[in-house]
Amino acid sequence: MNKHITNKNKILTVLGCGVALLFTGSSAYAAATVWTGTTNDVFGTAGNWTNNAPGEDGADSLATIGNGDTVNLTTAYTSSDPFRLELQGNSTLNVSAAVTVNRLTDIGAGSTLNLLDGSAFTMPKISSGNNEGWTIDGTLEISGGTHAFNERLFGSGTIRVVGNDSDIHFNQIVNALNYEFEFDATGVSSLIGGGTGIGTSGAGPYWSALGTSTLTVDGSAFNGTGAFTLLETTSNAASTFNMSNVTITGLGAENVGWTLEQGIDGSKNIITLNVIPEPSSAALLGLGGLALILRRRK
């Protein structure tokens, strides 16, 4: 059964039905290495850590950045013993190179992980149940690079996708995380479940609890039309946004409207934003073309 909700510049199509699964829980670990920033703001500088850089004490070592610090990871840091990473105390980590993290214990409230152009963020799969992932209570912002999140993402924070220059794959997203998509001139990147870097164990890639999540889209920088996949998973577990939690701005100018389609398409659960000319605008374009044809025939 298809459900349509129509408002000015808004058409919602909900396709199919499914069961949304909700998982909670996250593990906390005592800090083994703490950022001090006594040398500079470079992540890989040994002197900036209480134990000579993260990752050197084995896969379970925890690197903690806090106290409002801003840290820049500008050269590849892919230790043979991937470390856990925790951002707390309104801290910021800017990543513009390759980095491998065993799992991220927490992006704390007020903290931000920025994945920038040139970044390649990898979280290996380490559990058969996909339940050894991250808690995102702050902001994960992705504006460039190629990324594979191979364990579950939890929390009540925000995943923000900026522009159309990222390749983003995840395994599972659970809990009521919030989603923001900011278009550039060419569009916006997608959050894709499965595929590159994703393991095959566990329940498979999906997201859940979208009904209580928020979706915000800023199309102010986009001047064209087209269809843009915001989220896609290969799982049959369907979860859709409540339109009362959806805010889409910047796509109503220049006689352009939009439709939001969400639900099951074959074996995929897809959230698609279609940026389209308004019917009245399309009609005017048609009349203009007809007038041109008639003028040429005279």
What tens digit of pLDDT does each residue of 211-267 get?
Answer: 899 999 999 999 889 999 999 887 656 788 999 999 999 986 556 789 999 887 777
First-residue to last-residue Cα distance in the chain? 51
Q: Are strands 145-149 and 120-123 parallel, antiparallel or unpaired?
A: parallel
* E strand or H helix at 290: helix 279-297
Least confident of 57-66, 92-101, 158-167: 57-66
Rounded Cα distance, 90 and 68, in Å: 5
Between CA 60 and CA 67, with CA 63 as vertex, the angle to 5 degrees is: 150
* Residue whose pair of structure tokens reads 């993402």 in the numeric block: 153
Average pLDDT, the chain: 78
pLDDT at 265: 77
pLDDT at 22: 34
SS3 209: coil
Q: Characterise 282 by phi-psi region: left (phi > 0), alpha (psi -120 to 50), beta (else).
A: alpha
Q: Are strands 139-142 and 3-7 parallel, antiparallel or unpaired?
A: unpaired
pLDDT at 205: 63
pTM for the complete prediction?
A: 0.82
Rounded Cα distance, 20 and 136, in Å: 20
Residue-wise pLDDT for 4-15, tens only, equals 333 334 444 444
Helices then strands, counting H and E runs in the chain, come out as: 1, 25
Rounded Cα distance, 172 and 193, in Å: 7
Handedness of CA 114, 131, 61, 89 (dihedral sign): positive
